[in-house]
Structure formats: C-alpha cells, structure tokens
Amino acid sequence: MGNAAKAGICHSFSADGRCISLLKVLMTNVCVFDCKYCINRESNDTPRAAFTPQELAELTINFYRRNYIEGLFLSSGVIKNPNYTAEQMIKALELLRNVYHFNGYIHVKAIPGADSELITRLGLLADRMSINIELPSQESLRLLAPSKSKESILRPMGLISTKIQENRTDLVKYRHASRFVPAGQSTQLIVGATPDTDHKILTLTEGLYKKYGLKRVFFSAYMPVAENSLLPAIDTKPPLIREHRLYQADWLLRFYGFEAKELLDEQNPNFNLQVDPKCNWALNNMDKFPVEINRASHEMLLRVPGIGVISAQRIITARRNGTLDFTSLKKLGVVLKRAQYFITCQGKIMEGLKITSDSTIRTLMSDQYKLPSYQEQLRLFDEPFISREEVQQCLTAQI
C-alpha cells in the first residue's frame, strides 16, 4: 500500500509551526552511549521503553491508512550495541515493507558504529537515510560525545554516498535492481552547544553538499538538557534566530547560487542577527546595485533582497511581453518592501522612495525580533509544496 509522493506533503503543523509529515519515533530510548547533550544518554535517569518491531509496524501502518502521516522517521538509542540496534530496526522495516506491503516514505537514522553490511540492508529498505553529525568539529565530539568519533560518523556517510552512486549505475544497467535510499541522505548539526562559529558550520554544510552529495543539512538550536560545565548553562535560551539565519543561508547555497565564502569569512565569522544573510550580503556589495529589472540576469535577480525564486521566474517570463514598471511588479506579486531599495524599473527608482540610510536600515531590519518559523527543519522532502511566498510570510524576513 501507499506511495512516496515526490513533493513534500505536510499532514499537519505542530503548535510551533513545523510541518508534520512523518511519524517520528525512537525504536527505543534505551542508550549505552553517553552523549552529553542528549536526554537519552546512559547517565541520565529517565524512564526507558522499547517498541517491538511488530508494534512499530502496526502503529505506522494504522497512522498511514488514516492519512495522518506520509511515512516513518525511525531513529533509536543504542540498545545493547550498535549492531543489535540496527538489527531491531531492520526487523521493523522488513515487516513494514514485506508483510504490510508498505510503499510509503521511510527515513531511517543509521546507527553510528553499526557494521557496513547492516547499514546497507537498512539502506535498501529506506527512502532516506541520515547520520547526524551533531557537532561541527572533532574537538567538540571528543568532549561531548565520547563514544562517537568523526570517523564513526563520516565512514557510514561515505559508505551511503558510494552506495547511492553505485546504485545509480546499477539502475541503468539492470532495470530491476533494488533501490538504495532513493531520496538520498541528510544530516543534522546542533547549533550553540559548542563555540563553533557560523562560518565553520556553513563551510562544513557546503562541503557536505559537495563531497557527500547530501540532500539536506538540518540545523537544530541547542536546548539545554543537562547541567555540564562543557555545555551552555541550563537556563540558556536556544539560539533560535541564529538557527534561522543558518537555514536562510542554507537556502542561499541551495537555490540562489551563493557560496559560503561570499556570506561569511574569518573576519566576520557569524551572521548578523539583525539582518538576514542575503540583505547583509547586498549591503556589503552596494556597488552591484541597483539592478535594472528589465535587463538583469536571472542570477542577479535572485540576489536582490526580497526577490525569491518564484518572483524572479515571473519577472523573467513577464518581461518578454514588454517593459515592466513598479505597478506590474506588484501585479506579479513581487513584494517591494525590501526590494525597492535595490532595483530600478526603466532606470527609475520607485516613486516617493526616500533613501535615507536611517529609514532604509529600519525597513530592512524591521522584522528582526519576530519568531521565525521552523517548518523548514522538519521538512523531509526537497520540493516545498507550500509556495515560497507562504514560507516567506512565516519566515517574516524575506531572504
């Protein structure tokens, strides 16, 4: 039963505004590892329980039949040892796929330290696999996740990425070759648990896209779960704005043709919390503006603050039929609030626009303290079904 729809389908939105698409559960919260930032770490006194593979399969299929979910996102604490854990997960997924004939979406976390053979079997059952890097540097890992190492994370990540490559050629050769994680792999990084800078995180992210062909990198603002001298104090607020800026920058890398080094460098290693990364880039590159709407290249249109992928596309289409002015831009649905400072139409700036540095900066920053949306974070598919406009309304600051 079922299909793995291509465009992401959100089945609900949680109270914090994130898309709920998958049943996100742990096989068990028992764990023999002791990652300092995790609530399930061995040394934490918390009630433990486990699903049997049968229970998990039944729950998934019953949620799926009622259209509550698009599929399953299965993760687990490490019970007994990594191999045993992976085997339990394989059992559950085999039940789902072979007994219940479930064709819906499955995202599974690879367990660090499990044998390659087991990782491969998981990969043949899942649509997407992920291994969370969590901490952006070897040093932070050593301090906070002593049972994990850069090696134990990057090795399976490399394995998955090679398997995906091999599978592509296999699929060309043999039409019936089984598919290995057809929806690719992703990872997550924790933001704010360690002193690592945005520059470090973003450069790592870019590398992961390029080197391992990852589909998505997710960021998660650190929520204190334990008193530990190595971690931020327990009453520290999660760095939500910072997480939001990283997501914006991630979009710029993936859809807007930016490179990490254009956005941050050693001298400015962290994002400006007041201004979004695209605006920030524009303000640092004022010599490239204003751009003429009727002539600018697609690439350059994408770099104008306030103009998103859809707006840029509509401008390109509409200007084939004649010259555009500010009224036509409004008809196209282009939001001018930010863009107006960076564009001209037929050589003219927008009528009545006063560029005093003070009012400009204020408009560009006006949304700064509104809580951004995190619906991006849980989106497990690549094509957003929600229009860019809607997301932007929520992101408050247009990128």
Partner 1 sequence: MLDGTDLVYSYDGTFEGLMCCVFESYECKESPCLIRPPSVQQTIFDTSKWIETDSQKADRVYNSIPVKISSEAQELVKLGFLTCEENKELLILRFLRLGFKVGGKVMTMLTDEVVCSLQKAVRHLTSESHKFKGFIRFSVFGEALVAVIEPKNYVLPLLSAHFCDRYKVEKFMIYDKTHSVALIYQSNRAELIEVEGLTLPNVDSTEAKYRLLWKQFYNTIAIEGRTNPRCRMTLMPKRYWNQMTEFDNMSDLFQIQVQVAETKQAIPNDINKTADKTTRYQIQGS
Tell me which residues touch ligand SF4 (CB under 6 A): 31, 33, 35, 38, 40-41, 77-78
Least gap, CB of 337 to ligand SF4 (angstroms): 42
Cβ-count burial of 362 within 10 angstroms (0-12 exposed, 13-18 middle, 19+ buried)? exposed
Q: Give the bridge partners for 134, in sequence order.
A: 189
Task: Mark the segment that binds partner 1 (CB under 8 A) among 1-9, 115-123, 278-286, 299-307.
Answer: 1-9
Binding partner selected for residue 375 from ligand SF4, partner 1, none, CB under the kind-specific 5 to 8 Å limit: partner 1
Sole residue written with tokens 């350059």: 300
Asked whether position 281 contacts partner 1 by CB under 8 A, the answer is no
Binding partner selected for residue 194 from partner 1, ligand SF4, none, CB under the kind-specific 5 to 8 Å limit: none
Q: Give the bridge partners for 196, in sequence order.
A: none
- HSE value, Cβ hemisphere, 13 Å, CA-based, for 250: 23
Q: Which amino acid is at 257?
A: G
Binding partner selected for residue 41 from partner 1, ligand SF4, none, CB under the kind-specific 5 to 8 Å limit: ligand SF4
Residue 99, number of CB atoms within 10 A of its CB: 11
Asked whether position 159 contacts partner 1 by CB under 8 A, the answer is no
**Are 181 and 156 a contacting pair, CB within 8 Å?**
no
Binding partner selected for residue 311 from partner 1, ligand SF4, none, CB under the kind-specific 5 to 8 Å limit: none
Q: Give the bridge partners for 224, in sequence order.
A: none
Mapped onto helix, strand or coil, the DSSP state of residue 9 is coil
The alpha carbons of the chain give a radius of gyration, in whole angstroms, of 23
Q: What is the token pair recorded at 371?
A: 């809580």
Binding partner selected for residue 280 from ligand SF4, partner 1, none, CB under the kind-specific 5 to 8 Å limit: none
Binding partner selected for residue 51 from ligand SF4, partner 1, none, CB under the kind-specific 5 to 8 Å limit: partner 1
Least gap, CB of 264 to partner 1 (angstroms): 25
Asked whether position 25 contacts partner 1 by CB under 8 A, the answer is yes
Q: How many residues does the chain have?
A: 399
Q: Residue 18 and residue 181: Cα distance in Å, rounded?
A: 24
DSSP state of 32: S
Asked whether position 26 contacts partner 1 by CB under 8 A, the answer is yes
Binding partner selected for residue 23 from ligand SF4, partner 1, none, CB under the kind-specific 5 to 8 Å limit: partner 1
Q: Residue 194 and residue 60: Cα distance in Å, rounded?
A: 36
Task: List all residues 6 or more positions away from 149 whose beta carbon is below 8 Å from its beta carbon.
Answer: 138, 141, 142
Q: Which of residues 188-207 bind partner 1 (CB under 8 A)?
A: none
Least gap, CB of 303 to partner 1 (angstroms): 22
Binding mask 109-148 for partner 1 (x = CB under 8 A): x-xx-------------------x----------------
Task: List all residues 6 or more positions away from 245 whose beta carbon is below 8 Å from its beta carbon.
Answer: 198, 271, 272, 273, 276, 277
Pairing between β-strand 71-75 and β-strand 22-26 as defined by DSSP bridges: parallel
Q: Which amino acid is at 13?
A: F
Binding partner selected for residue 139 from ligand SF4, partner 1, none, CB under the kind-specific 5 to 8 Å limit: none
Q: Residue 140 and residue 194: Cα distance in Å, rounded?
A: 7
Pairing between β-strand 291-292 and β-strand 22-26 as defined by DSSP bridges: unpaired
Task: Mark the segment that binds partner 1 (CB under 8 A) among 91-99, 176-184, 293-301, 319-327.
Answer: 319-327
Least gap, CB of 136 to ligand SF4 (angstroms): 15
Q: Which of residues 376-395 bind partner 1 (CB under 8 A)?
A: 385-387, 390, 393-394
Asked whether position 356 contacts partner 1 by CB under 8 A, the answer is no
Q: Which is nearer to ligand SF4, 38 or 208 (CB)?
A: 38
**Are 16 and 377 a contacting pair, CB within 8 Å?**
no
Least gap, CB of 374 to ligand SF4 (angstroms): 20
Q: Which is nearer to ligand SF4, 3 or 43 (CB)?
A: 43
What value, to the nearest 5°, has the Cα angle with vertex 202 and ends 313 and 307? 20
Asked whether position 29 contacts partner 1 by CB under 8 A, the answer is yes
Site residues (CB under 8 A) for partner 1?
1-3, 5, 7, 9-21, 23-26, 29, 31, 38-40, 47, 49, 51, 55, 59, 62-63, 65-68, 70, 75-78, 109, 111-112, 132, 223, 237-238, 240, 314, 317-318, 320-321, 324, 328, 331-332, 371, 373-375, 385-387, 390, 393-394
